[in-house]
Amino acid sequence: MNSSPRSHIVFAVALVVALLIAYYLRHALLLIYVSILFAIVLTPAVQFIQKLSIGPWRPGKGLAILLLLIGLFVLVGVFIGIVIPPIVRDAHEFASDLPRRVPDMMERLRRVPAVNRLAPQDLQDQLTSLATRLPKLLGGIAGGLVGFFTWMILTIYFVVDGRRAVDWGLRLLPEQTAFGLRPVLLHARDRVRRWMLGQLLLMLTLGVLSAVVYNLLGIRYATGLAVFTGMANIVPIVGPVASVLLASAAAAFDSWMKVVAVLAFYAVYQQLENGFLTPRIMKATVDLPALAVVVALLIGGELAGLLGGLVAVPSAALIAVFVDEYLLQRPAIPDLAV
């Protein structure tokens, strides 16, 4: 039975309305999408904790999530406890020695061409402009914190109740469609988890190389900076920028040559990671061509900035699963039954 023109019109209007609603809710939908991806990644860790037992007792899913969060906070606390005391000690020594260091610092600044050409009035104008932008900056930080806690709550929800939500969504579909879609979703889930494995390899690589370079250069807080550098590498753009700024600031306490060496290391590593490591590691883990990984990173960063770059590769892997399943015509698998 052919569909009437009226049904085509109704479908087109409904599709346009749905797209408009999705556009206006794009930030919330992106946050939900990122929460789902991280829930997929964290679920195996929660399941592992649930398998631990003390006699006949085993933790439930809620307690397993709580123990995982406590473990993460303990690791962060240990890291802060190791890194912060030497920084506080050096800051106290720097403050007590500041009157003697000020002339030397001013002399170093005057050797920088850009600072030497900067008039006092220009500096005052820059400080005034910074002061006027400070409320907006603080508002952005507050909004970021709200978004972070919203993401964390959503991620916990999807870890706890994600399977039930998927089952509910599949029940809305025709039975045959739901039956065929379930293995596709499981395949997509496995690819997302392999993406996280590849991301961890990239973080470990950068952290180890940073530790070696920082210690060879004799930069203060080398180990702490290396750990931060590796962990921040999961966040596109902002993570590497924050890492290079912190490392450069620590190197500047000793000499400008160390700052140049840090910048050179980052420049070389970024070329190595973007052109060699990321495409190959992601191809090995999520089975995507190197070109697809690079294009996905570019498109994700352009469409959604920081979060877009963060989820670009797993999103490309998900799209590849559905394209492979529903669009590509694959040859039939021969029947091996005897």
- Residue spans of the domains in the chain: they are 21-113+143-172, 176-328
Rg (CA), the chain: 26
Could you tell me if 321 and 327 are in contact, meaning their C-beta atoms sit under 8 angstroms apart? Answer: no
pLDDT in tens, the chain (338 residues): 455 677 667 777 887 888 888 888 878 888 888 888 888 888 888 888 888 877 788 888 888 888 888 988 888 788 777 777 776 776 676 667 666 665 666 666 566 655 555 555 555 565 566 556 666 766 666 777 777 788 888 888 888 888 888 888 888 878 887 788 888 888 888 888 888 888 888 888 988 999 899 989 888 888 888 888 888 887 766 778 888 888 888 888 778 888 889 999 988 988 888 778 877 787 777 777 777 777 887 787 777 777 777 778 788 888 888 887 777 655 444 444 43
Torsions phi, psi of 57, nearest 5? -85, 135
Contact criterion met (CB below 8 Å) for 282 and 313: yes
> Do residues 147 and 307 touch, judged by C-beta distance below 8 A?
no
Residues 6+ apart with CB under 8 A from 22: 29
Provide φ and ψ at 54, rounded to 5°: -120, 95
Residue whose C-alpha is closest to residue 83's, from 219, 205, 207, 222: 222
pTM (2 decimals)?
0.67
Which residues face 57 on adjacent strands?
A: 54
List CB contacts of 250: < 8 A, sequence separation 6 or more: 219, 220, 221, 225
